[in-house]
């Protein structure tokens, strides 16, 4: 299901699993191996172009612009060195964590409708099961009458 949500790249760069390198620091950077992996497992990165489908296990994109800046991540040979996986930034008076998770990703346009359908189906199932349990246990609940507005 999560592979269906993280749909395609919104920018040129490298597809990564941001959860794997969240412990990186400037003193102890983490190194991502670049390669044409069909599934990202561990410290791996896959080159992607804008509009391409993302590999399985991807939840973020490290853009080429960020690699060129070299402040948080940098490119060394066939590896990406991650030094600052998370920064606290401020915009319009609000502070937020800027991570690589969900960054540079275009989600599936149908995923919202899919989630709503699941919530509705779950609600119907729970409603019918609650009614079934009251009948099973012989509970005769009196309905509350509402008066007024």
The boundaries of the domain holding residue 44 are 2-107
Query: Is residue 145 a part of any domain in this protein?
Result: no
CATH of the domain at 82: 2.170.190.11
The model's pTM is 0.73
User: What number of other Cβ atoms are within 10 A of residue 61's Cβ?
Assistant: 28
Query: Is residue 8 a part of any domain in this protein?
Result: yes
How many residues are given for the chain? 149
How far does the chain reach from its first CA to its final CA, in angstroms?
43
Task: Kindly write down the DSSP assignment for every residue of 21-72, as one continuous string.
Answer: GTT--SSS-EEEEE---SB--SSEEEEE-TTPBPPBT--EEEEHHHHHH-SS
Q: How many domains does the structure of the chain reveal?
A: 1
Query: Is residue 100 a part of any domain in this protein?
Result: yes
Query: Is residue 138 a part of any domain in this protein?
Result: no
- Reported confidence tier of residue 3, pLDDT bands at 50, 70, 90: low
Encode pLDDT of 93-140 as tens digits: 899 889 999 899 988 878 778 888 989 999 988 888 887 777 777 777
């Amino acid at each position: 299901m999560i592979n269906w949500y993280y749909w395609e790249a919104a920018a040129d760069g490298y597809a990564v699993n941001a959860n794997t390198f969240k412990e990186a620091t400037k003193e102890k950077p983490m190194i991502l191996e670049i390669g044409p992996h069909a599934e990202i497992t561990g410290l791996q990165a896959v080159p992607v172009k804008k509009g391409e489908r993302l590999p399985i296990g991807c939840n973020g994109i490290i853009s080429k612009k960020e690699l060129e800046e070299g402040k948080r991540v940098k490119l060394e040979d066939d590896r990406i060195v991650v030094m600052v996986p998370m920064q606290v930034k401020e915009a319009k008076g609000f502070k937020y964590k800027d991570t690589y998770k969900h960054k540079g990703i275009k989600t599936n346009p149908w995923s919202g409708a899919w989630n709503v359908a699941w919530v509705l189906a779950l609600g119907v199932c729970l409603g019918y099961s609650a009614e079934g349990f009251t009948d099973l246990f012989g509970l005769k609940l009196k309905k509350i009458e509402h008066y007024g507005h």
